Amino acid sequence: MMDWSFATAAAVLLALGPERLPAQPPDDASPASSNVPGARSPSIHRDGRVTFTLRAPDANALQVAGGDGLGKGPFPMTKGVDGTWSVTIPGPVPGFHYYWFVLDGVSVNDPGSETYFGYGRETSGIEIPEPGADFYEVKNVAHGEVREQWYFSRTTQQRRRALVYTPPGYDKYVSRRYPVLVLQHGLGEDETGWTRQGKAQFILDNLVAAGKTQPMIVVMDRGYASMPGTPQFALAADSRLRDLHLAFGTFADVVVRDLIPTIDASYRTIADRGHRALAGLSMGGMQALFIASHHLGEFAYIASFSGPPVYGTDPDERLDTSLQGEFDPKRAYDGLFSDPAKFNQRIKLLWLGAGTEEKELHARIRAVADTLRRSGVPVVFFESPGTAHEWQTWRRDLFDLAPRLFR
């Protein structure tokens, strides 16, 4: 019944199988929800420890490495008699963590994992459940949709893709109009981050179902943009503040001149600044404040999730040395906060957040919040307990922020 080429595909599928089905997971462990269907590794033990396995009979060395939240890696794996390597690591903090194998010195994905765009490439990831936390789960509630929206940017002269979340009932209540939240990813990530890693659509679905937030449209774009003929922005050890301004400035133009008009033309938005919010994580948080400082008339709500504050004002200043600077509320962000009365008149909410475990960044963002408050600018400062520069922090940020918007 089966053709050779179909049979070949089936045979390859079967041949690949053993690599990702090397053994039954330990009795007290279950495959991670972030695995591809059928993959038994990585698996999570009842006590939170995680076991990774990979069949690699000819490899000389194998490790698991990953983002901060995974723990103090890299973790050397040991080879079993059947050529399957494995390691069990202490329980990581709950949430989503990027990880990868280091196979004879090369960083590669785990074939057992779905892939998630981070570090400028497709990367493996593991979801560690948080006991008692289900605000980002797919629940039995009305769901919104995530839509792929292609549009032409006059700024970059290129087609771009944005992902757009429309809330539950959007297609049903055809005369209702909605406010808009622009929500940006971090460095090395892309427009898929907030729905794949962040589960923003389920956070919003659940908040709307509970009556805790206004139904809103959420727009997620790709946070990179360069003018025609100029190279893509690449963060480097010798980047200067002006490089950042150039890159963020082009992206700001894309958002304000191209993206927002596209969204207002394509969806039933309430197309005024009072119904428009801008938020982002890490680099996206930097961008939110940068864009606000140049386009204060476009957004009434601004939020930065773990966004490194920009202290410097000298365009020649190097990005990685400006940690030494002082935050001057009169001069920072091109004077965004220099006139608190004017700022407060325009901005209904300035929201800053950080995880308590992203130690230095947490302290710096809190200090900025305190300085701003003292200067007369109200700030909501939100702490995510026990989490670092990672998605569980940002999921909690969104969960806290969304109910405060468009009130």
- Interface residues for a second copy in 146-165 (CB under 8 A)? 146-152, 159
Distance CA 260, CA 376 (A): 30
CB of 322 to a second copy, least distance (A): 3
- 310-339 per-residue burial string, b: 16 or more CB within 10 A, e: under 16: bbbeeeebebeebeeeebebeebbeebbee
Residue placing its CB nearer to a second copy in the complex, 190 or 298:
190
Among 114, 253, 258, 298, binds a second copy (CB under 8 A): 114
CB of 124 to a second copy, least distance (A): 9
Among 309, 337, 382, 384, binds a second copy (CB under 8 A): 309
**According to the binding rule CB under 8 A, does residue 207 interact with a second copy?**
no
**According to the binding rule CB under 8 A, does residue 323 interact with a second copy?**
yes
Residue placing its CB nearer to a second copy in the complex, 18 or 376:
18
CB of 291 to a second copy, least distance (A): 17
CB of 13 to a second copy, least distance (A): 5
**According to the binding rule CB under 8 A, does residue 3 interact with a second copy?**
yes
Query: Site size for a second copy, by CB under 8 A?
Result: 97
Distance CA 362, CA 217 (A): 29
**According to the binding rule CB under 8 A, does residue 179 interact with a second copy?**
no
**According to the binding rule CB under 8 A, does residue 81 interact with a second copy?**
no
**According to the binding rule CB under 8 A, does residue 187 interact with a second copy?**
yes
Residue placing its CB nearer to a second copy in the complex, 298 or 317:
317
Distance CA 308, CA 361 (A): 7
Among 30, 79, 88, 109, binds a second copy (CB under 8 A): 109
CB of 242 to a second copy, least distance (A): 13
**According to the binding rule CB under 8 A, does residue 258 interact with a second copy?**
no
Residue placing its CB nearer to a second copy in the complex, 314 or 339:
314
- Is the distance from CB of 119 to CB of 98 less than 8 angstroms? yes
**According to the binding rule CB under 8 A, does residue 108 interact with a second copy?**
yes
Among 30, 88, 214, 266, binds a second copy (CB under 8 A): 266
Contacts of a second copy in 58-77 (CB under 8 A): 58-61, 67-68
Least Cα distance to 195 among 231, 253, 157, 148 occurs for: 148
Residues ≥6 apart with Cβ < 8 Å to 126:
32, 34, 42, 44, 50, 66, 70, 92, 96, 97, 99, 113
**According to the binding rule CB under 8 A, does residue 320 interact with a second copy?**
yes
Are β-strands 180-184 and 276-281 bridged in parallel, bridged antiparallel, or unpaired? Answer: parallel
Among 28, 104, 272, 339, binds a second copy (CB under 8 A): 104
CB of 348 to a second copy, least distance (A): 27
Chain centroid to CA 141: 24
Among 51, 84, 184, 282, binds a second copy (CB under 8 A): 282
**According to the binding rule CB under 8 A, does residue 328 interact with a second copy?**
no
CA contacts within 13 A on the Cβ side of 74? 15
Distance CA 215, CA 2 (A): 50
What are the C-alpha distances in Å from 257 to residues 215, 295, 298, 313, 402?
Answer: 25, 11, 11, 26, 25
Distance CA 150, CA 246 (A): 24
x/- track of binding to a second copy for residues 25-64 (CB under 8 A): -----------xxxx--------------xxxxxxxx---
- The window from 40-48, 309-317, 366-374, 394-402 that contacts a second copy (CB under 8 A) reads 309-317
Among 30, 88, 214, 322, binds a second copy (CB under 8 A): 322
Residue placing its CB nearer to a second copy in the complex, 122 or 339:
122
CB of 92 to a second copy, least distance (A): 15
Contacts of a second copy in 346-375 (CB under 8 A): 358-361, 364
**According to the binding rule CB under 8 A, does residue 209 interact with a second copy?**
no
